[in-house]
Each structure stands twice: as structure tokens, then as C-alpha cells.
Amino acid sequence: MKHALGLIEYKSIARGVMAADAMLKAGNVELIQATVLCPGKFIALIAGAVGAVEVAVERGFSFDPAFAIAKFILPNVHPAVFPALTATNPVELKGSFGIIETIDAASAVVAGDTAAKSGRVELIEIRLARGMGGKAVVFLCGELAAVEAAVKSVQDRLRDEGVIIATSIISSPHPDLAF
């Protein structure tokens, strides 16, 4: 069962792929995403039981410390985060629409988890930094008050880290809005 997410970031694509392989071989974890990011970085995102994720992230991060940039473990993840990360959440845009833009992938994962745990919103997608200059975006929807509360919750949680670039709330999005 997936209870935790773990992420490593490398400044080398070749070494990052090898580190991701080491993570998967370290224990009973599932690869959620392994991808190249702008500008030539690599991330691997895994899920599993908290202990297995901790071991795998440490193995991946320590695989080649000269190329490792960051590591991240998020225990007790809200279940809606997993399909939002793979854009397979069967959520239809309804009610109000919230957007949270962050400077990096790890911050967006935390933002999505925080928003999902804040109340009655639905995560549409957590788009991780690919083709966006390293930035990431969280899309969510729900009743206006719930979306406002979720965005505020994320801002409060991440304010001191300085990782939020911008947020937007559209109270009544046009039906043709696509993103």
C-alpha cells in the first residue's frame, strides 16, 4: 500500500537514471515518475510504505553524491495525490478552479498534499516541472470557499520556504478553459 512518496533530484540525467534504478532495487517501492526536467535535471518519484521509501530514497540520493541535488520524503500522503501526479484523476472541472505555481517539483507535491488534506477540494493534476523551466503547478477545484481555504492552507504551509511563485483562483471558469 502506498503511504509515502519519495523523490530524488539529480543534476545528471545519466547518473539520475542509475540512481532511480538503485532506488527501485532497494526495496518494495513503486516508480511513479522518472523524467528529465528543465534545464537538464532528472527526478525520480517513488511510492510505498514509509520505511521502504526512506530506504530507497537514501539509496538513490547516496548513489552518486557528486550529482545529487535534493531528496524528499512525504509520509502519510493523501490518496488523491497519486492519480494527480500521473494526470489520471477522473476529476471534472466543476465549481471554482485553483492554481498553485511552485519553483520546484517537491514543493508542488507538498502543495497538492496540503490542499487535498485541507478540505473538500479535488486535485485535478500535479504537473511536475517538465517543460516549465523547473517550475511545477497544482490544479484543483471545488466550491469557492473550499478552494480559497485550500490555497490559503498551502500558502501558510509553504510561506517560510519561499517556494510559491503565484496562486490563482477562478471563481467561475469558462467551460472551454483548457490547460
Residue type, 101: E
The widest CA-to-CA distance across the chain, in whole angstroms, is 48
Q: Percent helix, strand, coil in the chain (nearest 5)?
A: 35, 35, 30
What are the DSSP calls for 91-154, one per residue? ----BEEEEEEESSHHHHHHHHHHHHHHSSEEEEEEEESTTTTT-EEEEEEE-HHHHHHHHHHH
Q: What is the pLDDT of residue 132?
A: 67
Sign of CA dihedral 19, 24, 27, 29: positive
CATH assignment at residue 53? 3.30.70.1710
Contact 91, 124 (CB under 8 A): yes
Range of the domain at 62: 4-74
Report the number of distinct structural domains present in the chain: 2
Does any domain span residue 111? yes
Q: Which helix (H) or strand (E) holds 50?
A: helix 50-62
Does any domain span residue 177? no
Sign of CA dihedral 83, 84, 85, 86: positive
> What tens digit of pLDDT does each residue of 72-121 get?
999 999 999 999 988 877 777 789 999 999 988 889 999 999 999 998 99
29 and 97 within one domain? no
Mean pLDDT of the chain: 91
> What tens digit of pLDDT does each residue of 143-173 get?
999 999 999 999 999 999 999 999 999 998 9
Q: How many residues does the chain have?
A: 179
How far apart CA 29 and CA 100 sit, in angstroms, is 28
Structural domain ending residue among the three candidates 34, 50, 74? 74
> What tens digit of pLDDT does each residue of 1-21 get?
679 999 999 999 999 999 999
Does any domain span residue 108? yes
Q: Which of 95, 107, 87, 120 is nearest to 154 (CA)?
A: 107
Does any domain span residue 93? yes
Residue type, 82: F
